[in-house]
Structure 1
Amino acid sequence: MHQLSMPEMHFFILVTKFNPIILRKIIIIFWLVLTGLCNVSGQSADKLIQELRTSSALRGSVLGVQIVKLDSGNPVLSFQSETRMMPASTQKLLFTLAALDQLGADYVFNTKLFISGKISSSGTLKGDFLISSSGDPGFASNRGNAKMNVDLVFQTIHKTLNKLGVKQIDGNLVLQVQDGAEAVAGSWHWEDLSNYYGGGAWGFNFMENEYSVYFKQHPKVSQLCQIEKVVPEIPGLKLTSRVFSGPPGSGDQAYIMGGPEELTKTIVGTIPAGKASFRVKGSIPDPPVAFLRMLKVFLDRKGIQSGGMKIRYGKPPVERLVGKFSSRPLRDLARDCNFHSINLYAESFGRAMLQAKQIETLTGYPSPQEWKKLFEVYPVGMEDLQIRDACGLSEGNLITPDILTRYIVMFHNKLGMSQLKYVLPRAGMEGTVKSFLENQQIGQHIWLKSGSLEGVLNYTGIYRSAADSKYYAFAIMVNHSIAPQKDVRKSLEQFLVRAMNSRFD
């Protein structure tokens, strides 16, 4: 190591004494080197790829990687970047960014209240009470700042009717749904459909189409666990427990089996042995019907009787508007979608874009050709993109690392850096990537979306280089892996840190 001579030392002292800016820069560089955030030498792209390929956790799997400069889109590292792979939940990034571009960051979903007919002097509505939905995925959800759970929605509806002087409804409770397409993709696994993440997006959604089943844990292993309660109560729902106690700490291994509209379901699998209550989350069967049934029960208890219940499809009615619920802005919904990987939100964004472009769904659930029409406006690798759903749950989705990075560059140019960072969680700090580079300070310079299925682990996003302070877009995709996911994640963490510490010329 070179030691400073006396003249050099005197010069250093004079410069830093009279130039605090230089002193501050020297201190920052010294700190970066000490903490490992700056690697002066770095590693070549070939060496980085070679180390990742030879990782024992990735042996026999399919690997695709691309890193590009965010400002120019020029690749600095590529390996099998044009190989089609399953994106899993990184698919959500495409749909959230496209929705922000096509619908706008300030876009809101509206749920409107109407009445048809006149109200008599005795308080009888000689017509229907209508609820018109635009498919708001966050309606009656506790998520975000505007907390509005289903009880508050019912209370608001009751207050609206009271203010109008309505004491009885001669007509029906009507739910007007603009989108009558199938809620779930045919390529989704049967065992996913009745669980909270697999319920799909309906023309009307509430409580994120989710309910909770509470089990009484058993202190011994291999014992049948009984259901304590269901929240909220879903009229007509019948659940049978085939859930047994597993080893302590084994986590939620229970699955609710049944179709998306079926009210009779069986829950199978295991929950950890213990002495408390354990929650398993399911998807509400046929949310439009469930909501109407719950609303009718609520109004009956409040003394407001009504006729039947109907669901209609098509455009909003031309009736008397008496109330409205508005969602949070799309930018906040998109943030929640990526931070918490909410399938319902991504699917709903896709449906909203299809409606905005007046693309009719002809096959029940949107077809791959209909989904691709949303992306025809973007000249980025359409021929290598296969879309089976919006959320990434289908194993039929195919994309390349090259397309992912090119889309990020394109949307960065369209939406701006602040919007991109706002809708992506930071590694080790937020959302579903909180465990990625957890407790490592370098994570605060990485904004990314994760995606995982059985045998699949992907990460895509942007990072700020520790070597040159420039921004890069990246996609790292691993498919067909049989190694424990934590081992694969560790290999990808090490690769990304090395890449961030390397200078690419």
Structure 2
Amino acid sequence: MCKTPVNGHYRGMETMGSAAVVFLLLLAFSGCSPARKVSRYLKREFRAETQSNQFTGLLLVDARTRDTLYALNPEKYFTPASNVKLFTFYAALKTLPQHIPALKYARLGDTLYVVGTGDPAALHPDLRDSTALRFMRGFPEITMVNTNLADPTYGPGWSWDDFDQYYMPGRSAFPIHGNILRLTATSDGVRAEPAVFGDSLLAGSGSRLQIENGSRLRAETRNLFYQVPESGDTLDIPIRVSPGLERQLWSEATGSRIHEGRHLPPDSLESLPGMAVDTLLKKMMAESDNFIAEQLMLAVSGTRSDTLSFRSARDFVLEEYLPGLPQKPRWVDGSGLSRYNLFTPESVVYLLGKLYREFPEARLFALLAQGGRNGTIEDYYRDGEAPYLFGKTGSLGNNHNLSGYLRTRSGKLVLFAFMNNHFTEPSGNVKNRMQRILREVRDTY
């Protein structure tokens, strides 16, 4: 607690020399500084939680001065969940052009050769990008090279039990329709998008078919679907994707005959600009879209090679742009679906600092989730007319993290990584506690 003067002087001041008085005044007022208040508050807060069973990390750094305001386990490794998308975000901003390459192509006589770039936007039910579709429709014969994906459909450490859940579409070289089946219940029945799967629905409205492993939305090894939505609802189910099915779906969409291409054409390839990268990044960051995150890392690798590989993209970004990370991460996918990922609060804050220094604030904050406004923190950090927290959440079972930028009432900007792993209480309790703590930092610093 800060001491106050008595009759305009600190006690004992009259017996001290002027140098000592100045020193004590500076010491007293430094103890009253906002940074010290924040530090004392957080030490009390986390001292009260020493008996907690969860593992917590928190790092707060002033964006301008780069002073550390508070650090709790900053160098320890945590399961980041979708905080990994901050690194995918940075990779895309540093390497991709203003518009994502929709495809690469070469013309050989009357035949168009097209090569997959991983672009997730083509006829995606939320994005509706038709750039590649309009281009390909002009050619009756197309040879498609879409076997250039070096990675398996699912990433390492993904929960394969979730293969039929909306948040886990598989990766592919030339995706279409977001690699999902969207079912919409209407007054006329159920509308399937893409329509080719309309005959693959094995259940009536609102019902489920019990299969050997319990209730499923889709068969594990085939595109047979066991549930349709209730009236007025929409249901997204990942399809079981393969290069052959991709070619079939593209043929259905374009009306062209699409043949398998096993080898790249001998001529040099041109790139067809597609959707604005910022549109994809905004959806990825605000809504935590896993499919877009995975495909963007493939697109990043496609800027350096015709082979699409997460590992290639990751290694390039770490070596070229992030050699100064305080701790080397274990980074195994683009989305954070994997529990194999391990990052430290210090490395996350280091990345936040680079993002802030290398890209305009207005662009950066517009692409992130905004407290009380949109995305995964729309229902939190609501107080105030303007949003004061811009960031990215990361949630898996028993884990919840939030990292980003906090604008304080005094106008300062704080970089923060707040990571909570291995808790057993409801995640809502953890989120509310984080909100209370970050609000206090906003009001105090």
- Unaligned regions of 5+ residues in structure 1, if any? 1-38, 119-127, 217-226, 247-252
1:45 matched residue in structure 2: 39
Question: For 2:318 and 2:134, how far apart are their aligned partners in 1?
Answer: 41
Question: For 1:373 and 1:40, how far apart are their aligned partners in 2?
Answer: 40
Question: For 1:277 and 1:450, how far apart are their aligned partners in 2?
Answer: 30
Q: Is the alpha carbon distance of 1:341 and 1:179 closer, same or farther for their aligned partners in structure 2, counting shifts above 3 Å?
A: farther
Question: For 2:89 and 2:332, how far apart are their aligned partners in 1?
Answer: 16
Deviations 1:372-418 (A, max 9, x none): 44212323336441011111000010001111111111221122323
Match of 1:376 among 319, 322, 336: 319
Does structure 1 retain, via aligned residues, the 8 Å contact 2:83–2:336? yes
Question: For 1:243 and 1:482, how far apart are their aligned partners in 2?
Answer: 36
Shift of residue 436, structure 1, vs aligned partner: 1.8
Question: For 2:338 and 2:116, how far apart are their aligned partners in 1?
Answer: 27
2:180 matched residue in structure 1: 210
Q: Give the AA of the match of 1:481.
A: F
- Unaligned regions of 5+ residues in structure 2, if any? 1-32, 209-213
2:417 matched residue in structure 1: 475
Does structure 1 retain, via aligned residues, the 8 Å contact 2:125–2:178? no
Question: For 1:370 and 1:382, how far apart are their aligned partners in 2?
Answer: 20
Q: Which moved more, 1:200-209 or 1:42-51?
A: 42-51
Q: 1:243-258 maps to which residues of 2 (within 5 A)?
A: 256-258=217-219
Shift of residue 448, structure 1, vs aligned partner: 0.8
1:312 matched residue in structure 2: 262
Q: Are 1:293 and 2:248 an aligned pair? A: yes
Q: Give the AA of the match of 2:267.
A: V
Does structure 2 retain, via aligned residues, the 8 Å contact 1:242–1:266? no
Q: Are 1:461 and 2:411 an aligned pair? A: no
Q: Secondary structure at the match of 2:444?
A: coil
Shift of residue 502, structure 1, vs aligned partner: 1.5
Deviations 1:397-442 (A, max 9, x none): 000111111111122112232332132121010122212224x227
1:250 matched residue in structure 2: none
Q: Are 1:148 and 2:92 an aligned pair? A: no
Q: Are 1:187 and 2:175 an aligned pair? A: no
Q: Secondary structure at the match of 2:370?
A: coil
Deviations 1:87-133 (A, max 9, x none): 111110111123212335x2531325655435xxxxxxxxx444333
Shift of residue 366, structure 1, vs aligned partner: 4.1
Does structure 2 retain, via aligned residues, the 8 Å contact 1:424–1:449? yes
Q: Are 1:419 and 2:363 an aligned pair? A: yes
Q: Which moved more, 1:285-294 or 1:395-404?
A: 285-294
Does structure 2 retain, via aligned residues, the 8 Å contact 1:284–1:290? no
Shift of residue 154, structure 1, vs aligned partner: 5.1
Q: Secondary structure at the match of 2:418?
A: strand
* TM-score scaled by length of structure 2: 0.78
Match of 1:386 among 311, 330, 335: 330
Shift of residue 242, structure 1, vs aligned partner: 11
Q: Is the alpha carbon distance of 1:381 and 1:210 closer, same or farther for their aligned partners in structure 2, counting shifts above 3 Å?
A: same
Match of 2:280 among 308, 312, 333: 333
Q: Are 1:135 and 2:128 an aligned pair? A: no
1:109 matched residue in structure 2: 101
1:233 matched residue in structure 2: 195
Does structure 2 retain, via aligned residues, the 8 Å contact 1:178–1:313? no
Q: Give the AA of the match of 1:199.
A: P
* TM-score scaled by length of structure 1: 0.69
Q: Secondary structure at the match of 1:474?
A: strand
Question: For 1:242 and 1:52, how far apart are their aligned partners in 2?
Answer: 52
Shift of residue 76, structure 1, vs aligned partner: 0.7
Match of 1:263 among 189, 205, 222: 222
Q: Secondary structure at the match of 2:319?
A: coil
Supply the RMSD in Å over aligned alpha carbons: 3.8
Does structure 1 retain, via aligned residues, the 8 Å contact 2:301–2:307? yes
Does structure 2 retain, via aligned residues, the 8 Å contact 1:69–1:473? yes
Question: For 1:432 and 1:497, how far apart are their aligned partners in 2?
Answer: 17
Does structure 2 retain, via aligned residues, the 8 Å contact 1:112–1:133? yes
Q: Are 1:446 and 2:389 an aligned pair? A: yes
Does structure 2 retain, via aligned residues, the 8 Å contact 1:88–1:452? yes
